C-alpha cells in the first residue's frame, strides 16, 4: 500500500510516500547501492529475452511500485512473466463506506489494469487470495507448499520477490515480512521433493532449483536496472492503483485528476533517479 499525504487541502509538493507504513520521503531510492555486482552487459536484466520470470508480491501493487519499469522492459523483450499475489489487499481504505468485498474487487481491477499497461495479461496474474494483513496468520507450512508448487510448475529462469534480509521485523507490514520469508523458504522446499512429495505424486511436478533471484524492497541493493525507456509505463501503471492514492483512499473514486497523476509521476521519478541522473530500479541480486 502506498499513499500520498494531503496537507491543508493541498497535496504537499514534497511528496510523502508511505509503502506499507514506511515513510520514504527524502530518500531518492529505496536504499543506496552497496557491494555493487558487476554483470557482463549481455547477461543483464535489460537484455533478458524469452526467459521465464516469476514475480512474488505481497499485495497487488508492490511489484508495480518496486519494479514496474523492469516489468515493462521484460515484457517488451518477450519474456514470459507470471505474477503471484499473496493477498487481496482488501483493508487499506479510509473510506468509511468501503467494504472488504468491494475493496478486494477494486484492487483486482486496478492490478489487472496496471499489468495491462506493463504488458502482462490478466491470465498471467495468480491470486492466492489471503486477506490483507492476515498473511502471517496463515499456516506457514501450507503457504510454503503453495509457493513451492508454483516454482515447480513454472520452473522460472528468474524470480523477483521482496528482500527477506530486510529489516522487516522492525518496521514493515506483516504481509511483507511473511511474503519475503515464505518465498525464500519455498526456494529450498521446491528443491527437495520430500518437502511436498504430493506435488510429484499427484501432479508430476518435479523438484526445481531457482537459478537466479532478485530481491526488491532491499535495504542493501547491489544491482540496478536502467528503466529510462519504460519509466512512463511505470508511472501510468502505478497511477492505475487509484485507490492507493488520496483522495481516493479516503473517499473512493475510480477517477484520478491530472494533478494527482503528475504528483505520482514526479514522486516516482524522484525516487527512481540515481546519483548519475539515470532512472533505475534497485534490487539485491542473490
Ligand atoms: Zn504491500
Total domains in the fold of the chain: 1
Distances (CA, A) of 246 to 92, 207, 270: 12, 45, 19
How far, in Å, from the CA of 163 to the mean position of ligand 1?
A: 13
Residues 6+ apart with CB under 8 A from 43: none
Q: Give yes or no for residue 171 having a pLDDT over 70.
A: no
How far, in Å, from the CA of 57 to the mean position of ligand 1?
A: 7
pLDDT of residue 50: 98
Span 226-273, pLDDT tens digits: 999 999 999 999 999 999 999 999 999 999 999 999 999 999 999 999
Q: Which residue has the higher pLDDT, 35 or 65?
A: 65
**Would you say how long the chain is, in residues?**
286
Helix 231-239 × helix 100-118 angle, to 10°: 160
How far, in Å, from the CA of 40 to the mean position of ligand 1?
A: 32
How far, in Å, from the CA of 185 to the mean position of ligand 1?
A: 19
Q: What are 34's three cell numbers?
A: 552497496
Span 110-145, pLDDT tens digits: 999 999 999 999 999 999 999 999 999 999 999 999
How far, in Å, from the CA of 64 to the mean position of ligand 1?
A: 10
* CATH code of the domain covering residue 93: 3.40.50.10320
How far, in Å, from the CA of 34 to the mean position of ligand 1?
A: 24
Span 39-57, pLDDT tens digits: 999 999 999 999 999 999 9
The pLDDT confidence band at residue 12, using thresholds 50, 70 and 90, is: very low
How far, in Å, from the CA of 66 to the mean position of ligand 1?
A: 10
CB 65 within 8 A of CB 238: yes
Q: Model pTM greater than 0.85? A: yes
**Domain span including residue 190:** 2-285
Q: What is the DSSP string of 97-113?
A: T--HHHHHHHHHHHHHH
Span 253-264, pLDDT tens digits: 999 999 999 999
Q: Give yes or no for residue 14 having a pLDDT over 50.
A: no
How far, in Å, from the CA of 59 to the mean position of ligand 1?
A: 5
Amino acid at each position: 500500500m502506498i499513499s500520498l499525504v494531503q496537507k491543508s487541502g493541498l497535496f504537499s509538493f514534497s511528496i510523502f510516500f508511505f509503502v506499507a507504513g514506511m515513510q520514504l520521503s527524502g530518500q531518492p531510492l529505496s536504499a543506496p547501492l552497496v557491494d555493487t555486482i558487476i554483470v557482463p552487459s549481455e547477461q543483464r536484466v535489460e537484455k533478458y529475452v524469452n526467459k521465464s520470470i516469476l514475480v512474488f508480491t505481497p499485495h497487488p501493487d508492490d511489484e508495480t511500485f518496486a519494479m514496474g519499469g523492469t516489468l515493462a522492459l521484460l515484457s517488451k523483450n518477450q519474456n514470459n512473466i507470471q505474477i503471484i499475489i499473496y493477498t487481496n489487499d482488501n483493508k487499506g481504505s479510509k473510506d468509511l463506506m468501503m467494504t472488504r468485498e468491494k475493496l478486494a474487487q477494486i484492487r483486482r481491477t486496478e492490478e489487472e489494469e496496471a499489468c495491462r499497461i506493463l504488458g502482462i495479461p490478466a491470465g498471467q496474474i495468480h491470486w492466492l487470495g489471503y486477506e490483507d494483513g492476515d498473511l502471517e496468520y496463515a499456516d506457514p507450512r501450507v503457504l510454503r507448499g503453495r509457493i513451492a508448487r508454483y516454482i515447480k510448475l513454472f520452473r522460472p529462469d528468474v524470480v523477483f520477490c521482496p528482500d527477506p534480509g530486510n529489516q522487516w521485523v522492525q518496521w514493515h507490514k506483516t504481509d511483507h515480512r511473511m511474503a519475503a520469508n515464505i518465498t525464500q523458504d519455498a526456494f529450498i522446499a521446491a528443491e527437495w521433493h520430500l518437502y511436498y512429495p504430493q506435488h510429484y505424486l499427484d501432479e508430476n511436478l518435479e523438484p526445481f532449483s531457482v537459478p537466479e533471484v532478485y530481491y526488491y524492497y532491499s535495504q542493501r541493493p547491489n544491482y540496478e536496472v536502467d528503466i529510462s525507456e519504460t519509466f512512463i509505463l511505470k508511472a501510468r501503471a502505478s497511477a492505475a492503483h487509484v485507490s492507493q492514492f488520496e483522495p481516493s483512499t479516503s473517499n473512493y473514486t475510480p477517477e484520478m485528476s491530472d494533478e494527482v497523476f503528475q504528483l505520482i509521476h514526479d514522486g516516482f521519478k524522484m525516487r527512481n533517479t540515481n546519483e548519475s541522473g539515470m532512472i533505475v530500479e534497485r534490487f539485491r541480486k542473490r
